[in-house]
A and B are shown apart, each in its own frame.
Chain A
Amino acid sequence: MRAETLKGHLDGILLAVLEPGPRHGYAIMEALRERSNGQVDLPTGTIYPALHRLERAGLIHATWSAAAGRRRRVYELTPAGRAALDTERSTWHEFSAAVTALLQPARLAASPS
């Protein structure tokens, strides 16, 4: 799935990946691939500016942590981020239900007897 296809939904996807707990940038990318069964495979570098944007919007919080001699920026959801994820989920369910209904093959109207 290409970046253009995900446009408009990347924020919600990143928030959803962070819902179970804090993760650093590359772990977020790995979780994206794993949870989408490899369908979502963005250029990894592009998720970092998106994470910074979400942090600026107060939806996630970042802290530096060091493990195995490597410093990583670890992100976690804020309460505002959880609320935004809930909103994103319900918006998506409404949207996908509407589009699914629209994309169904049209049933032929019963011909009048």
Chain B
Amino acid sequence: MTEPAAVERYLTEVTTRLPGSARVRSGIVAELRAGLLDATDAHRSAGLPPSAAAVAAVREFGDPGLVADGFRAEIAAGLARRVSIAVLVTGPLVGLLWIATAAASHLGSRLEWASLPAALQASLALTSLAIGVTACGALFGIAVTGRLSRWVLVRPCQAPTAAAVAGFGAIGADALGLALLAAGLASIPGRLSPVPAAAAAAASIVRILLARRAARHCLAARASLT
């Protein structure tokens, strides 16, 4: 059966206001469509002709902008949660590859740390800071978008902001890891174990590209809330 034109127009008005992936939007639209058709059926049962029943159903659902506003906050929260979890899970994995590189290359003794140039020491300190920022952003993003959201009340824009901070923090940590690798190759050529170093570098490059994309999406989701 063809769906009433009023219902389709309403769904289009909601959809055009929604950010996010096609999969997320199609789930929302499918749910709203079922509700609108249920409402149309209820008005038809009350005696209205089909087209008038659809118009009444649309009126009953309210301003499409208001409905889209509600879903925008939910889409932003869902995205922030996925990004935060991804950053938090991949961080230790990439970190382990860098630690394996250092261990396989017999780096990390006190003597060598003291003998490192100041710039390298500063880079290591900055990497620790970036990892800390990433972990804090991701943990906050997870806390305010899941079960803890009942107790931790925040504004809707704060979850995607935290996830974007986590994403940019991950980019910073990985970029510093790559910079340290480049410095190591220049200062102690031949010392670095090639296989773990290549694996760590590849993992960091992939993570930088994915985190950049994810952080941008989070910022776009945040912008859609204001």
Interface residues, chain A, with chain B CB atoms under 8 Å away: 24-27, 29-30, 42-46, 48-50, 52-53, 56-59, 70-73, 80, 84
Contact = CB atoms under 8 A, between A and B. Distances in A.
Given A24-B34, A71-B30, A46 B150 contact: no
Nearest to B72: A49
B35 A52 contact: no
10 contacts: A42-B62, A43-B67, A44-B35, A44-B39, A45-B32, A46-B67, A53-B74, A70-B37, A73-B30, A80-B147
Contact of B149 (A24, A26, A57, A72): A57
Contact of B67 (A49, A53, A59, A71): A49
A1 to B, nearest CB: 15
Given A56-B77, A56-B146, A57-B149, A25 B70 contact: no
Interface of B: 14, 28, 30-32, 34-35, 37-39, 42, 60-64, 66-67, 69-71, 73-74, 77-78, 81, 145-147, 149-150
B20 to A, nearest CB: 12
A46 B66 contact: yes
Contacts of B32: 45, 48
A50 B149 contact: no
Contacts of A43: 60-63, 66-67
Contacts of A44: 35, 39, 60-62
A46 B149 contact: no
Contacts of B66: 43, 45-46
Given A52-B71, A58-B146, A71 B34 contact: yes
Given A45-B14, A45-B35, A50-B70, 7 more contacts: A43-B60, A43-B61, A43-B63, A43-B67, A56-B81, A58-B146, A73-B30
Contacts of A56: 74, 77-78, 81, 145-146, 149
Nearest to B151: A57
Contacts of A24: 34-35, 38
A73 B34 contact: yes
B61 A45 contact: yes
